[in-house]
Amino acid sequence: MTAAVLKTTAGLALAALLATATPQGLRAEDTIKIGILHSLSGTMAISETTLKDAVLMLIEEQNRKGGVLGKKLEAVVVDPASDWPLFAEKARELIEVEKVAAVFGCWTSVSRKSVLPVFEELNGLLFYPLQYEGEESQRNVFYTGAAPNQQAIPAVEYLMQEEGVERWVLAGTDYVYPRTTNKILETYLKSKGVAAEDIMISYTPFGHSDWQTIVADIKAFGSAGKKTAVVSTINGDANVPFYKELGNAGIKAEDIPVIAFSVGEEELAGLDTGPLVGHLAAWNYFQSVDTEANAAFVETWRAFTGDGERVTNDPMEAHYLGFNMWVKAVEKAGSTEPDAVIDAIVGVTVPNLSGGYSAMMPNHHITKPVLIGEIQDDGQFETVWETPGLVVGDAWSDYLDGSRDLIADWRPPMACGNFNTATGKCGGSGS
Amino acid sequence: MYPPPPTLPRAALNAGAAASAPPAPKSSRGPMIRACLLPPAQAIPALRALLLLALVLGASLAGSLARAEESADLRAAIAALAKGSFAETEKRIAALAALGDARAVPALEALAGGDLYRREADGAVFIARSAGGGYRLTEPLSLQDVGTAGRREVKKIRVNNRLRRTIRAALGALTLSASDPARRLAAAKAILKTRDGEAVEALDQALARETDPQVAAVMQAARAAAVLASDRSAEEKSAAIDLLAARGDREAMAIVASIATAGDAPLAAQAKAAVARMERSQALWDVARNIWYGLSLGSVLLLAAIGLAITFGVMGVINMAHGEMVMLGAYTAFMVQGLFGALAPGLIDYALVVALPAAFLVTGLVGIAIERGVIRFLHARPLETLLATWGVSLILQQGVRTLFGPTNREVGSPSFMSGAFELGQLTITYNRLWILVFSLTLFAALIAAMRKTRFGLTIRAVTQNRRMAASMGIRTPLVDALTFGLGSGIAGIAGVALSQIDNVSPNLGQSYIIDSFMVVVFGGVGNLWGTLLGAMSLGIANKFLEPFAGAVLAKILVLVFLILFIQKRPRGLFALKGRAVEA
Amino acid sequence: MTRRFFTHGMTRGSWVFLALLAAAGVLVPALNLGLPAGHPLHMPTYAVTLSGKYLTYALLALALDLVWGYCGILSLGHAAFFALGGYAMGMYLMRQIGPRGVYGDPLLPDFMVFLDWQELPWYWLGFDAFPVALAMALVVPGLLAFVFGWFAFRARVGGVYLSIITQAMTYALLLAFFRNDMGFGGNNGLTDFKEILGFDLQSDATRAGLFAASALALGLAFVLCVAITSSRLGKVLVAVRDAESRTRFLGYRVEHYKLFVWTVSAMMAGLAGALYVPQVGIINPGEFAPANSIEAVIWVAIGGRGTLVGPVLGAGLVNFAKSWFTAALPELWLFALGALFIAVTLFLPKGLVGSLPRLWANATSARSKAPPDARTKAPAAAE
């Protein structure tokens, strides 16, 4: 082999390396950069691409209103390609190289977990728009999606009270969110006097597409005479074949209703919802919510995407809230410096799309209404129940042993994400 | 508070007119009145019992004189549905049902289906169907068309599951003597679900007139369930247990099981024995069910793998873009359906049928293009086809993502592929059945093509000995291109079928590619029968493991089994023998 | 053997490569730590971790090349060994968190606390000691490879069958590690690491140190590969690659040679994984994905299999392209990457290092060189 070739190729490689190393020239100081960290390829692109477009739309809207602090906003889009370590790498790139003021991104829990240390180290800001398992509160992260107490528990309460459900199937994809949620629900149900044999828990792998056995099991479990419901934490992709099987097997919502926490308008868009009418979902927002603000939002979204049929969903609203909170906090602080924004954003209140006002709480979760909707034959949800007021997101569940005593409050002097009220120390049980 | 329904005396009168029935009108009036004051959940069974009686015995007696007055009552009761909370609506449904008038059925059905609307202007209630920018209104009693209304002029009357359940129960009572056997069947099933002890006599009446044996069987079961819930004699109950035990399905088992735990001693013992018997037969049915599920899963695997059996198995191209061919087929189905939706909405059921050849053409041509553009340069280097086709798959995936967007697309099911039927204790869904039939047909067609046609002969000649085939005057490049096109086209057809059970998204292919390779390798590369047997046995193995091990572990176990199996038979189930193997 | 190593193994190219690697191993940390952030030659930490990651990928590619390029075993499951090594290191890093987890449990990692595990599973014991973890990062992949290879090579599973069952292996492991019941954190994997050997993982110095360690590991592995391939053993391996049956008929126990090189390769992949995890800060089942293994094969192919510098170069180039494209062309990068794979396969069949010399020779025909030696020749198609 020739040394000459080696030298040239090695030289090339080194040059390439240096190219990443050199600073990106002089930064334009008249714009504020916003990072968008959503997968545009790979398995999660199906869900996350929409959120990328949503943030782009919000930025465009804000610029039309004159930007923030007199500067225009500029979006920096990267593709972490559904590859979790790549999320961390891209987050670092956004903060360290692109010097973005805030990042809107992540969908799965694992992607969030992957970028957490990066945001902590480089003191960035992350707005995370998904409903998630809770058990976390980090100084640099704002959780604009639902915590379990803003979605799972009200949903189960609804089924118990309104539908008189006594027997429960907790079906989920085998990963952290369903595991934790089901753990919380199991404890909750048992505290309400549900017997262990009236709870069936089943986990399936990601992208599970053959639901025959499980649907048959559900049918058998539900024919025992007591009113039965399925609480589904099945992840995105697997839902379409699940519902198709459910519909074909003739499981009607009147007999065994299924309430889902991960099925929104976007997922239903790939389905004929005729056989699914009456099955439920619990969210903090539905496209069908009848308010002026929502009508305007849907219209802007359709104009932005150029698709008159395009649907909106809950995580989009979460980004809408997070983005507006960030804008308000920046204006309040007069600066985009992360520390200033973190101090300013607690207590910031912005109108949500369902007619109320959502506030950023000291634990970096927000207040939201909880809506229960039934699937309609046009692929939309109709709200059949909602909480009378807003529910405060709970970072640490009351229904898990490890976290019962923990609270989060990022205001000084506590400034702690896992303060243990039993020991009076920051840092879990702090042994 | 809701005022007492004005129709109450009428209903009672109907019941009273049927004085021949054992429960005297006096005794039935008590619960009747209480029913209106009680919370609805308790009120309904009592109400239903009464109105069953009222309906069956009294409907024929109702004089035409009362008609006009009755219509007004009915209209008022229907209009009342439009107001108030779900709980109030539930009471009003009960009240409406209590009128015992079958003319209320269309309104109730519309309410359950979400088609009942209230006109904002005057509060009148209509059945509305979406038409153009607004709704076409139908009067719920006369069923006459009364013109259209704009989208904002009418408001949908909201229902939830609980109301739908109430309505179904009410309809069960009202339609037990309907002329359409399907509706009588639905009514009987509704009563079977509610297990209402007071429905026995209504069922007896209905049974006496029933001519359809299938409906009669369900009515018998419903009657047995009702008997068990009533305070009838032990002999009757014992007979009911026997009847339900003979029926043997899960629903019957649950009813009998409740007697086994709650009933008095001799009955409980009989029920226990019956449950044990039913459990034994259920266990047998479970085996049948697992076989069916396994065959169904196997047919999906076969569909996914069959194209690869050509491109990889026969041609030796490690075709990582195979999954994308399946995906393209599914998207073709989506496009064809969109075209039908726009041009000929009435024929939408045939869209899938047309999509099959369309998908074959589209993916076949894409396959030929890939063969001509990339793969033909790699004939001497089969392992490198893996790299190139991986690149092709990335491009195709992203191409579809750019063109159609990353989200799922809906490919609807034609009516003949929706729903299910019962075979003994087996629920067989039509889409799974069709997919099984289809995959076997496709397989048979492919075998026939390879064995019986001249094209098949040349394919085999070229793959077995390229140079010899060339010397015999076969145009090998053309055959290569067409073979790859055939494999791709079949993958496309499979995509059309898979669009019926899975997501149609750019990731569709990725989820099948590994399984497809496993099936082909398990069956033996180059052997189509091996692919068939491989797919079916992997499918059945998976489904037999799933109930014990869970879905995840079952899949892992199947993979481990596959790895071990290959150690035992390094060339799969059906190894090709001879020199071709080493080439 | 030592003489052969120097006369046949370490060509001029190899020395140049080692020199460059050593230079990078010293310079990159120096430019990162020694110069102030504003200096034009300052190497940002971002670039240091990124290049450190590339080095671990290069090590994986090298491991794969050893079995594929030199012995003709196309593994579509090498990511499994990489990930197992990563998990071993991840478990060590997890144990190092100690009571600083969010629940403050002194022993149990966070994900076990909130999923209600009462005690540490037995297979987590001992991982609080670095030497144990490092040994496990080598032993576990090595053992798996040994057992797997023992059966597969004795049964003479070869060619594409072997490739597919290696894929089945990594796929099965992927599914297994997704299971939360396994006690490896399920889909979220292991994350939120604090320190390694007492050094803060978030400090620039640690990152620079990890980069240097990766460079060192790659250098040592390179020398090991040179030693193996230039020895008699290496020649037998090439013989197995090119004509397995003939080698067997000559009296060589083919399966022993294969098993040896296969196990060594798996251990190298495990080491790569162990170095990878502290630099990217997370290990989860996604690393087992069959697509990752295929990507590693592509690095080797692009760089040039059957050469030792090639895979290193291929891993670096493809991953650099990926990092750059995903930021510069987020919507289009898959087109570019796909086209790159097709183009390289079609136009550079022997990879960059295998093909460029000829192109180079054509371009500068004055300096005509000897034809590429046997090592750079692509393996025969019979696999």
Tokens of B497: 């079928």
* Last residue in a domain, options B126, B146, B170: B170
pLDDT of residue B58: 46
* DSSP 8-state secondary structure symbol assigned to residue B271: H
* Last residue in a domain, options B170, B189, B213: B170
Confidence of residue C372 (pLDDT cuts 50, 70, 90): very low
pLDDT of residue A197: 92
**Residue predicted with more confidence, A350 or B231:** A350
Rounded CA Rg of chain A: 23
Contact C193 A117 (CB under 8 A): yes
The dihedral sign for the CA sequence C215, C217, C220, C225: negative
pLDDT of residue A360: 96
CB C196 within 8 A of CB C278: yes
Contact A225 B258 (CB under 8 A): yes
* Last residue in a domain, options B170, B196, B220: B170
Over chain A (431 residues), the average pLDDT of each successive run of 10 is: 49 48 50 95 88 96 94 95 92 94 94 93 96 92 95 94 92 88 93 94 87 91 88 87 88 91 88 88 94 94 92 96 97 95 95 94 96 91 91 92 88 89 74 39
**Residue predicted with more confidence, C164 or C8:** C164
Instruction: Give me the residue from C332, C344, C349 closest to B381, CB to CB.
Output: C349
Residue type, C192: D
Q: Does residue B240 fall inside a structural domain?
A: yes
Nearest to C53 by CA among C322, C240, C256, C252: C322
pLDDT of residue A29: 64
User: B477 to chain A nearest CA, in Å?
Assistant: 35
- Chains touching chain C through at least 3 C-beta pairs below 8 angstroms are A, B
Q: Do B335 and B245 share a structural domain?
A: no
Contact B114 A164 (CB under 8 A): no
Contact A431 C327 (CB under 8 A): no
Contact B300 A272 (CB under 8 A): no
Tell me the Ramachandran region of residue C159: left when phi exceeds 0, alpha when psi lies from -120 to 50, beta otherwise: left
Contacts 24+ apart (CB under 8 A), C231-236: C231/C1, C231/C4, C231/C5, C232/C1, C232/C4, C233/C257, C233/C260, C234/C70
How far apart (Å, rounded) are the C-alpha atoms in residues B184 and B187? 5
User: C103 to chain A nearest CA, in Å?
Assistant: 4
In degrees, rounded to 5, the angle at the alpha carbon of residue A49 between the alpha carbons of residues A45 and A55 is 150
Contact B506 A225 (CB under 8 A): no
Q: Do B301 and B206 share a structural domain?
A: no
Q: Name every chain A residue with its beta carbon within 8 A of the beta carbon of B257.
A: 224-225
CB C338 within 8 A of CB B394: yes
What residue ranges do the domains of chain C occupy? 2-376
Tokens of B199: 């429905």
Contact C99 A10 (CB under 8 A): no
How far apart (Å, rounded) are the C-alpha atoms in residues A234 and B471? 58
CB C106 within 8 A of CB C97: no
* DSSP 8-state secondary structure symbol assigned to residue A224: S
Contact B374 C172 (CB under 8 A): no
Per-chain mean pLDDT for chain C: 88
Neighbouring residues of C104: CB distance < 8 A, sequence distance ≥ 6 = A418, A420, A427, A428, A429, A430, A431
* DSSP strands (E only) in A121-257: 126-128, 141-143, 167-173, 199-204, 228-233
Number of other residues whose CB lies within 10 A of the CB of residue B151: 10
Neighbouring residues of B304: CB distance < 8 A, sequence distance ≥ 6 = B326, B494, B498, B512, B515, B516, B519
Contact A1 C373 (CB under 8 A): yes
CB C202 within 8 A of CB A121: yes
Q: Does residue B114 fall inside a structural domain?
A: no
The CA distances from residue C316 to A86, A110, B310, C322, in Å, are: 15, 26, 36, 10
Which of B193, B349, B408 is the best residue to mutate to test the A interface, defined by the most A CB atoms within 10 Å of its own CB? B408
The CA distances from residue C196 to A105, A424, B354, C193, C281, in Å, are: 29, 29, 62, 8, 11
Confidence of residue C381 (pLDDT cuts 50, 70, 90): very low
Q: Name every chain A residue with its beta carbon within 8 A of the beta carbon of B412.
A: 272
pLDDT of residue B108: 87
The CA distances from residue B215 to B181, B186, B210, C355, in Å, are: 7, 9, 7, 78
Tokens of C353: 């290092």
How far apart (Å, rounded) are the C-alpha atoms in residues A306 and A303? 5
Which chain B residues in 245-274 lie under 8 Å from chain A, judged by CB atoms?
250-251, 253-255, 257-258
pLDDT of residue B522: 92
Query: Which whole number is the average pLDDT over C85-103?
Result: 92
Q: Do B259 and B290 share a structural domain?
A: no
User: A383 to chain C nearest CA, in Å?
Assistant: 33
Q: Which burial class, exposed, middle or buried, applies to B455 when counting CB atoms under 10 A from its CB (0-12, 13-18, 19+)?
A: middle
- Which of A239-243, C149-153, C276-280 shows the lowest mean pLDDT across its residues? A239-243
pLDDT tops 90 at residue C366? no
CB B89 within 8 A of CB B163: yes
pLDDT of residue A154: 93
Which chain A residues in 161-180 lie under 8 Å from chain B, judged by CB atoms?
162-164, 174
How far apart (Å, rounded) are the C-alpha atoms in residues B96 and B102? 10
pLDDT tops 90 at residue B447? yes
Which ipTM value was assigned to this complex?
Answer: 0.88
Query: Which whole number is the average pLDDT over B13-27?
Result: 39
Q: What's the domain range around B88?
A: 1-105+164-170
CB A223 within 8 A of CB B395: no
Confidence of residue B124 (pLDDT cuts 50, 70, 90): confident
Helix axes B265-308, B234-247, angle to 10 degrees: 10
Q: Is residue A413 reached through a cis peptide bond, with omega within 30 degrees of 0 on the bond before it?
A: yes
pLDDT of residue A171: 94
CB B223 within 8 A of CB B204: yes
How far apart (Å, rounded) are the C-alpha atoms in residues A424 and A421? 5
Instruction: Give me the residue from B254, B293, B431 closest to A213, CB to CB.
Output: B293
Q: Name every chain B residue with its beta carbon within 8 A of the beta carbon of A245.
A: 429, 501
pLDDT tops 50 at residue C161? yes
Q: Which residue has the tokens 């690697």?
A: C21
User: B5 to chain C nearest CA, in Å?
Assistant: 55
Give tens-digit pLDDT for C19-60: 999 999 999 999 988 888 788 888 888 899 999 999 999 999
Q: Which residue has the tokens 């400034």?
A: A415
| Architecture (CATH level 2) of domain A152-260 | 3-Layer(aba) Sandwich (3.40)
Which of C177, C180, C187, C309 is the best residue to mutate to test the A interface, defined by the most A CB atoms within 10 Å of its own CB? C187
Question: Does A413 contact chain B (CB < 8 Å)?
Answer: no
Give tens-digit pLDDT for B518-563: 999 999 888 899 999 999 999 999 999 998 888 889 999 999 999 9
Which of A2, A95, A420 is the best residue to mutate to test the C interface, defined by the most C CB atoms within 10 Å of its own CB? A2
Q: What is the CATH number of domain A27-147+291-368?
A: 3.40.50.2300
Contact B390 C332 (CB under 8 A): no
Q: Does residue B233 fall inside a structural domain?
A: yes
Q: Do B294 and B433 share a structural domain?
A: yes
Contact C372 A22 (CB under 8 A): no
Q: Which residue has the tokens 């009410």?
A: B170
In the beta sheet, which residues pair with residue A260?
A232, A281
Q: Does residue B443 fall inside a structural domain?
A: yes
**Residue predicted with more confidence, B573 or A14:** B573
Spacing of C-alpha B78 from chain mean position: 33
pLDDT of residue B577: 60
- CATH 3.40.50.2300 residue ranges of chain A are 27-147+291-368, 152-260
Q: Which residue has the tokens 């020239």?
A: A25
Q: Do B334 and B444 share a structural domain?
A: yes
CA end-to-end distance (rounded Å), chain C: 30
